[in-house]
Every structure is written in structure tokens, then in C-alpha cells.
């Protein structure tokens, strides 16, 4: 469903459907592989993917698939299992930007992606990334280095949080407290990075085939 939004006016609808089918069938095959021919996926199913083991933020990624906020089902909570439609919904967050999008669509597109990321950082669903959560993120990023002390990750996270505070709030008095990074602050931090062009998986791009037509 997320993939159906492309709608370039020059491409015939039948072609769009054909392209969708192509990609969808590939994903469907993959879904079957991971789930072991079951109709739904569970957290344990992801253990079947060997390469994922090396990923330091593996648990966060897997969790993101079951996060109800990403699945657009509820404001918080975790689903126990997801079906193919939900799988596709998550995949749609990684669509590449398409040329025929206007400003508003682009903005919405960008916000969607950043929201996905935000949910990954904000594990307790309270709408802001606290220092503890940020520390956990950095710890996970450095988790493949067993010889490092925990304090290292902590001090990096502290430094980053202070920097975030100074970007979002500016100068602070000693008695002011910065609760955490809200979504607006998060948007501010990501301003320098082109999220629309970075956060995508290439093969979900239908355009080269569309243009060849």
C-alpha cells in the first residue's frame, strides 16, 4: 500500500501495478523465507537472518518492525506478530524519493522517515529522548567492542546531549533542566543531513524501470 503512492502521471497504471508486483513478489518470497512459510512473523523469526547478527543495533531494528507506532496501529505498544501487509508498511519507510513529488509531499515524506528513526531512539514512547535512552543508543552502537568500559559510551552520550541542548535551547542557566530531545528538536538536529536521500534501500526504487518505458 505504501508503494502504491508513486503515481507518476506519465506511467500507465498497469505498468505501476506490474512494477509493484515485481517488488512485492520479491519481498513476499523474502517474507516467506524469514517466517518459515508461516503467514506471520515473530521476533524469533529474525534469527534466521545470519548477517543480522553482526549488526550492533539488531535489537532496535527488530523491535522497530513490531512497534505499533510504525505500523500505524496504535500510539504505543508492541505487536506480537506481523503479517505481510505490516512488513510492507515498514518497508515503505525506506522508499527513495521520487522526482514528481511536490514540496508538501517531500516534507511529509521526510517527516515520516524521521519519525521512524525517532521511534527507534525513544523506546519508552514518551515522546522525547531522555539522557538514559540516548546513553543506551550509544552503548548499543559501541556494543561490538567488548573491551570498552561503559563509562566511555556514557560520556559520549553526555557530550552529545549537551550539544543537542545547546543547539535546541541555546544558552542555559545552571538551574535550567533540559528534559530530553523532542521530535521538533530532533528535526532540528537532522537539518544538516539529507535524510530523504540517505534513508532508502535502492531496490525499492521503481523509477529506472518507469523511465525506460
156 scored as a contact of another protein (CB under 8 A): yes
Query: In terms of CB distance, is 16 or 156 closer to another protein?
Result: 156
96 scored as a contact of another protein (CB under 8 A): yes
Residues 47 and 59: beta-carbon distance below 8 Å: no
Binding another protein by CB under 8 A: which of 15, 20, 78, 141?
Answer: 141
| Interactions with another protein, residue window 52-71 (CB under 8 A) | 52, 54-58, 61
175 scored as a contact of another protein (CB under 8 A): yes
Query: In terms of CB distance, is 76 or 163 closer to another protein?
Result: 163
Q: What are phi and psi of 82, to 5 degrees?
A: -130, 150
Residue 66: how many CB atoms within 10 A of its CB? 20
Q: What are phi and psi of 67, to 5 degrees?
A: -70, 125
CA distance 161 to 28: 41
Q: DSSP class of residue 201?
A: -
Binding another protein by CB under 8 A: which of 3, 19, 79, 161?
Answer: 161
Residue 158 CA, distance from chain mean position:
24
| Interactions with another protein, residue window 186-205 (CB under 8 A) | 189-190, 192-193, 197-203, 205
Residue 195 CA, distance from chain mean position:
11
Binding another protein by CB under 8 A: which of 37, 72, 177, 184?
Answer: 177
Binding another protein by CB under 8 A: which of 123, 160, 183, 187?
Answer: 160
Amino acid at each position: 500500500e505504501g508503494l502504491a503512492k508513486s503515481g507518476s502521471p506519465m506511467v500507465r497504471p498497469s505498468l505501476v501495478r506490474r512494477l509493484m508486483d515485481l517488488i512485492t513478489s520479491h519481498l513476499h518470497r523474502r517474507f516467506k523465507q524469514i517466517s518459515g512459510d508461516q503467514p506471520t512473523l515473530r521476533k524469533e523469526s529474525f534469527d534466521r537472518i545470519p548477517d543480522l547478527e553482526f549488526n550492533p543495533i539488531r535489537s532496535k531494528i527488530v523491535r522497530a518492525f513490531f512497534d505499533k507506532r510504525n505500523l500505524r496501529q496504535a500510539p504505543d505498544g508492541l505487536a506480537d506478530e506481523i503479517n505481510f501487509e505490516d512488513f510492507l508498511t515498514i518497508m515503505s519507510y525506506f522508499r527513495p524519493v521520487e522526482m514528481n513529488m511536490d514540496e508538501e509531499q517531500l516534507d511529509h515524506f521526510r517527516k515520516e522517515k524521521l519519525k521512524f528513526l525517532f521511534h527507534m531512539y525513544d523506546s519508552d514512547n514518551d515522546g522525547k529522548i531522555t539522557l538514559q535512552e540516548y546513553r543506551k543508543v550509544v552503548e548499543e552502537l559501541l556494543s561490538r567492542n567488548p573491551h570498552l568500559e561503559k563509562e566511555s559510551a556514557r560520556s559520549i552520550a553526555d557530550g552529545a546531549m549537551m550539544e543537542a541542548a545547546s543547539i535546541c535551547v541555546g544558552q542555559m542557566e545552571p538551574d535550567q533542566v533540559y528534559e530530553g530531545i523532542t521530535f521538533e528538536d530532533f528535526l532540528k538536529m537532522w537539518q544538516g543531513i539529507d535524510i530523504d536521500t540517505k534513508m532508502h534501500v535502492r531496490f525499492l526504487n521503481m523509477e529506472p524501470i518507469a523511465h525506460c518505458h
